[in-house]
Chains A and B, each alone.
Chain A
Amino acid sequence: MQLTRGTLTTGMLLFGLYAMGQDTSKINLDDIEISFMGSYYEQDGNHSAVTGGTGTEQLTNVAPSVAIVIPLDTMNTLTVDAAVDFYSSASSDNINNPFLLSNHVSSASAHDSRAYGTVGYKHKNSITGVTWGGFIGASNEYDVSSVSGGMSILKESKDHNRSISAKASYYYDNWSLIYPTELRNGDVQHLNTDIRQSLNLSITGSTVINTRMNMALTADLISQQGLLSTPYHRVYFADSPEVKVEQLPSSRLKTPIGLRFNYHATDFMLVKTFYRYYMDNWGMTGHTIKVELPLKLSQAFRVYPFYRYSTQTAVDYFAPYAQHTSDATYFTSDYDISALSSEKIGFGFSYEPLYGIGRMKASKGTAALFKSIDFRYATYSRSDGLTANVFSIGLKFNITGRKK
Chain B
Amino acid sequence: MPYRIMKRIKLTGMLAVALMMTGCMSVKEYQKMHLNDKDMQLNDKPLESFEVGFQTYREGVSGANGGKTGGGCGCN
Contacts and interface: CB of A to CB of B under 8 A. Distances in A.
Interface of A: 35, 37, 39, 41, 43, 59, 61, 63, 67, 85, 87, 89, 91-92, 112, 114, 116, 139, 141, 143-144, 146, 148, 157, 159-162, 164, 169, 171-173, 175, 198, 200, 202-212, 214-222, 224, 230, 253-258, 260, 262, 264, 270, 272, 274, 276, 278-281, 284, 286, 288, 294, 302, 304, 310, 312, 315, 336-337, 340, 342, 344, 348, 374, 376, 378, 380, 382, 386, 388, 390, 392-394
Contact of B61 (A35, A148, A161, A312): A312
B50 A212 contact: no
Interface in B9-51: 9, 12-13, 15-17, 19-20, 22-29, 31-35, 37, 39-43, 45-51
B9 A255 contact: yes
B60 A256 contact: no
A116 B71 CA distance: 11
A218 B19 CA distance: 11
Given A164-B20, A222-B70, A336 B27 contact: no
Contact of A262 (B22, B40, B65): B40
A220 B72 contact: no
Contacts of B71: 139, 146, 148, 169, 171-173, 198
A388 B57 CA distance: 13
B69 A200 contact: yes
19 contacts: A67-B46, A114-B73, A169-B71, A202-B64, A202-B66, A210-B24, A211-B32, A212-B34, A219-B12, A224-B70, A254-B62, A254-B63, A260-B43, A262-B41, A279-B4, A279-B8, A281-B5, A344-B55, A392-B47
Given A286-B61, A304-B39, A392 B51 contact: yes
Contacts of A257: 8, 12, 64
Contact of A342 (B27, B59, B75): B59
Contacts of B61: 256, 276, 278, 284, 286, 288, 310, 312
Contacts of A382: 58
A393 B72 CA distance: 24
A92 B39 CA distance: 39
A151 to B, nearest CB: 15
B37 A162 contact: no
Contacts of B48: 376, 392
Nearest to A341: B59
A164 B76 contact: no
Nearest to B17: A205
B35 A214 contact: yes
A257 to B, nearest CB: 6
Contacts of B31: 211
Contact of A161 (B27, B51, B64): B27
Contact of A221 (B9, B34, B49): B9
B76 A89 contact: yes
B15 A264 contact: no
Given A114-B74, A312-B59, A210 B16 contact: no
Given A279-B5, A394-B46, A208 B25 contact: yes
B60 A286 contact: yes
A374 B47 contact: yes
B24 A207 contact: yes
Given A91-B76, A310-B61, A312-B59, A270 B37 contact: yes
A222 B42 contact: no
A276 B46 contact: no
A212 B24 CA distance: 12
Nearest to A87: B76
A255 B60 contact: no
Nearest to B57: A336
B56 to A, nearest CB: 10
A41 B27 contact: no
A335 to B, nearest CB: 9
B26 A217 contact: no
Given A198-B70, A206-B42, A388 B54 contact: yes
Given A207-B23, A394-B47, A215 B42 contact: yes
A88 B44 CA distance: 27
B60 to A, nearest CB: 4
Contacts of A206: 42
